[in-house]
């Protein structure tokens, strides 16, 4: 039996089918239908936030958020993330400027970011690595961008949110995601098709009641891995900062040489266990992004790997995986 790296949690099929029946009765599939509007409202209530807009992907949400900034100039960005992060910056016509990461948290280092600020800086874009919030205190921003891709703890198969602090930013993003429409045959701004469908909203609505359970389950699994692997001198486990709530999204193994990490990944693969490089490559090494040196990120990208972690992963599975890791360092 193969153990995948991740596997999306699905709600009871009957719950989703009931939502699909509503969609059939409404005959409304996209263009901000009642299911999507309800989903945005319930997500805002769950997060105790306002200004929530549901888009077709986390990348599209990020692109629309970037569009609210003054055009051109530079965005300071972490090199330790998936390519969509810096890729969206580049796609929207900004120059990504990479600042290195903190060697402990692997999140954007605030001191390194501060060194990169110039008169051309439009924003600082930090990724919350492995489900642990980055240190963004003292930084003002538009708000937040969240992916709800199927690999996330909470998902809508595909999708993403923006959460805006200002209502005018929310309104602008809603124009961007719908071709700039502000009424029948009226176009108030440039726009694109960033809308999401009633079916994706329906999946989100049926999963939202499970959100706390999903997070708690991930944390329990994360802690079990920690207990199985804690204290081994050959590698280290990501530290959870004090007064921080993490969601257990990933369990990375850190501190091995690239050669030893590759060996462990290979042995796991032979045993039917999928371990993944999150994140590789370091984005400053992507040719079209043309970043400078970020030695901490580059070293992490060549050595860090994440163990399988998903809702249905059993304790026996985790023990099997941890045993392979410990025997092959």
**What domains are defined for the chain?**
13-209 (3.40.640.10), 211-327 (3.90.1150.10)
Residue-wise pLDDT tens digits, 130-177: 998 887 664 555 568 999 999 999 999 999 999 998 899 999 999 999
Instruction: Identify the residue with better confidence: 285 or 290.
Output: 285
- Provide the 3-class DSSP secondary structure of residue 154: coil
Task: For residue 150, give Cα distances in angstroms to 48, 116, 308.
Answer: 23, 34, 15
The distance between the two most distant Cα atoms of the chain, rounded to a whole number of Å, is 66
Residue-wise pLDDT tens digits, 6-44: 999 999 999 999 999 999 999 999 999 999 999 999 999
Confidence at residue 67, expressed as pLDDT on a 0 to 100 scale: 92
- Which residues are CB-neighbours of 221 under 8 A, at least 6 positions away? 248, 251, 309, 313, 318
What whole-number distance in Å separates Cα of residue 176 and Cα of residue 149? 20
Q: Which residues of 145-162 are buried (b: 16+ CB within 10 A; e: fewer)?
A: bbbbbbbbbbbbbbbbbb
Q: What is the DSSP letter of 122?
A: E
Find the Cα–Cα–Cα–Cα dihedral 248, 253, 258, 262, rounded to 10°: -90
Res. 127: pLDDT tops 80: yes
- Which residues are CB-neighbours of 240 under 8 A, at least 6 positions away? 132, 246
Percent of the chain with pLDDT over 70: 98
Q: What is the DSSP letter of 212?
A: H
What is the arithmetic mean of pLDDT over 190-215?
97
Can you name the residues that pair with 163 across neighbouring β-strands? 52, 144
What whole-number distance in Å separates Cα of residue 23 and Cα of residue 255? 50
Res. 222: pLDDT tops 80: yes
Question: What does pTM read for this prediction?
Answer: 0.91
């Amino acid at each position: 039996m193969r153990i995948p790296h991740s596997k999306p949690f699905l709600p009871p099929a009957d719950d989703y089918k009931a939502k699909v029946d509503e969609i059939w009765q409404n005959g409304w599939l996209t263009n901000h239908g009642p299911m999507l509007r309800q989903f945005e409202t319930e997500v805002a209530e769950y997060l105790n936030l306002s200004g929530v807009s549901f888009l077709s992907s986390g990348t599209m949400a990020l692109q629309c958020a970037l569009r609210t900034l003054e055009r051109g100039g530079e965005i300071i960005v972490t090199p330790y993330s998936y390519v969509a992060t810096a890729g969206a910056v580049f796609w929207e016509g900004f120059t990504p400027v990479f600042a290195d990461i903190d060697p402990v948290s692997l999140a954007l280092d605030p001191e390194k970011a501060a060194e990169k600020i110039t008169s051309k800086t439009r924003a600082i874009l930090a990724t919350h690595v492995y489900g642990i919030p980055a240190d963004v205190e003292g930084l003002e921003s538009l708000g937040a961008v969240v992916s709800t891709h199927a690999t996330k703890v909470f998902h809508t198969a595909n999708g993403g949110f923006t959460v805006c602090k200002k209502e005018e930013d929310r309104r602008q993003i809603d124009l961007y995601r719908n071709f700039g429409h502000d009424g029948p045959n009226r176009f108030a701004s440039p726009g694109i098709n960033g809308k999401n469908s009633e079916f994706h909203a329906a999946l989100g609505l049926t999963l939202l009641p499970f959100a706390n359970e999903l997070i708690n389950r991930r944390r329990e699994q994360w802690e079990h891995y920690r207990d199985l692997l804690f204290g081994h001198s050959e590698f280290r486990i990501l530290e959870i900062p004090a007064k921080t709530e993490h969601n257990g999204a990933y369990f990375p193994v850190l501190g091995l040489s690239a050669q030893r990490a590759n060996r462990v990944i290979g042995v796991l693969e032979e045993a039917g266990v999928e371990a993944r490089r999150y994140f590789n490559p370091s984005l400053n090494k992507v040719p079209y992004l043309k970043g400078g040196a970020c030695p901490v990120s580059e070293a992490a990208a060549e050595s860090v790997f994440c163990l399988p972690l998903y809702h249905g992963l059993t304790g026996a599975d985790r023990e099997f995986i941890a045993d392979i890791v410990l025997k092959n360092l």
